[in-house]
Amino acid sequence: MLVHLKCSELINEFSDPSLDESPMNRRFFWCVVVSGSSFAGGLVANLAFDVRSEAVAYEAPPLPHPPAAVDRPPTPGSGPERFETVIRRTAPSVVSVDAVKPSTAVAAKGKTTEESGSGVLVHFDGHKGCFAVTNNHVVGGARASEITVTLADGRILQPEKVWTDPESDIALLKLPGDDLPCVEFADSDRVRVGHWVLAFGSPFGLNQTVTHGIISARDRGQISLGATIRIKEFLQTDAAINPGSSGGPLVDMDGLVVGINTAIASNNGNNSGVSFSIPANMVKRVARELLERGAVSRGYIGLQLAPTLEPAAALKLGLGRAWGALVDSVHPDGPAARGGVRSGDVILKIDAVEIRNENHLINLVSSLPAGHKVKLLVWRAKQSQQVEAVITEWQPPRAP
């Protein structure tokens, strides 16, 4: 079952001819779909080479004796044998997740909708039992009694408790039993562009599907995923992922989970070979706070930031490169306003950390505790100056 988060609105928006002249429209010509899925696909090019050379006769020396055969295990990235080993190790921990949730459509108020996705079984240090990790957009809003988890061996379980974090799109399901086949998380900070990965999930309801690809990029965040998802530092992959695979694991060649598959970039909702996974280290940080506090504490500075700092705008402001976070507006009486930040400033550094873009700043501020004082290097009137602000705790907007 396919459930898309505001996909139709995004597609309609980007197909509106009145937006053709927008810099953002020129730069981002596709929309990002968050569903019970991630997606994949690509362009296949066939190249034929006809190489001819003149044959030269010579007398070859005698061949040496072949070395004795050595039975070595396949090395990471060595091909199908390695893939098979990782798949056999990981597949038992991959689950499908189904949830009955309140409908978010205005016309269907009071009705329910069904969502399907995937998940992976893991342990968390210091906490007994086994947990299924999936996406919030798969189970968010559903009661534990309305969620079913189907294991690779066909067993059907219902979670004892559910924790969700809409801002990172992470959800945890506490499952009965301690003997479930769990896998371990990798240190996702060590994942590099070009590393082989396998994506597991249930695309189109086809459980235990596996595809392969590489890590295409790191720290992807300047993509739109709906109003609730603010914390974004995705791993990008070209592994084929499709509707129904949201929440499934992205696994490295050691059989460790490097990410949780969450979203795609697509013109039409189908795979285009650009998919996004939440890094394992973020999953571990969020899970730790959910399990210990029941919620995730995040820092707040009180800024509305531009979606991007275009190169032309950076040059006009006197900057030599398009790095930094452009301030659209400053919330009255917020930490930034009290510190002297103004609309139109470009935040270049927070403490000693150079800011790449607006999403980088959001993630850094969110990771800071309330009461922490920061120094901000801002660009204003074609010169830099330093201001200070005291971080407060983020309060999510209340539902109407």
Candidate list 98, 165, 169, 345, residue with the active-site label: 169
Q: Which of 264, 296, 328 is the last residue of a domain?
A: 296
Q: Establish whether 169 is a catalytic residue.
A: yes
For tokens 């991959």, name the residue: 94
Query: Which of helix, strand or coil describes residue 1?
Result: coil
Q: Which of 246, 266, 275, 366 is catalytic?
A: 246
Tokens of 393: 């705790």
> What is the domain-level CATH number for residue 353?
2.30.42.10
Residue 266 lies in a domain: yes
Query: In angstroms, how far is CA 144 from the centroid of its own chain?
Result: 24
Instruction: Answer whether residue 70 is part of any domain.
Output: no
Last residue of a domain, one of 296, 324, 344: 296
Is the per-residue pLDDT at 2 higher than 90?
A: no
CA distances (Å), origin 361, targets 169, 286, 368: 19, 18, 11
Q: Which residue has the higher pLDDT, 330 or 64?
A: 330
Instruction: Based on the fold, state whether residues 145 and 270 are members of the same structural domain.
Output: yes
Residues 355 and 308 grouped into a single domain: yes
Q: Is 246 a catalytic residue?
A: yes
Which of 74-83, 160-169, 294-303, 387-396 shows the lowest mean pLDDT across its residues?
74-83
Q: Note down the domain range covering 26.
A: 1-40+76-104+111-296
State which H helix or E strand residue 263 sits in.
Answer: strand 257-266
Per-position DSSP letters for 106-154, written without gaps between them: GGGTT-EEEEEEEEEEEEETTEEEEEEEE-HHHHTT--GGGEEEE-TTS
Tens-place pLDDT, residues 9-63: 333 443 444 444 444 444 443 444 454 443 333 333 333 333 333 333 334 344 4
| Same domain as 326, residue 265 | no
> Active-site residue among 4, 35, 93, 137?
137
Contact 277, 257 (CB under 8 A): no
> Do residue 187 and residue 255 come from a single domain?
yes
Q: What is the CATH number of the domain that holds 211?
A: 2.40.10.120
φ, ψ of residue 25 in degrees (nearest 5): -70, -40
Q: Does 360 participate in catalysis according to the annotation?
A: no
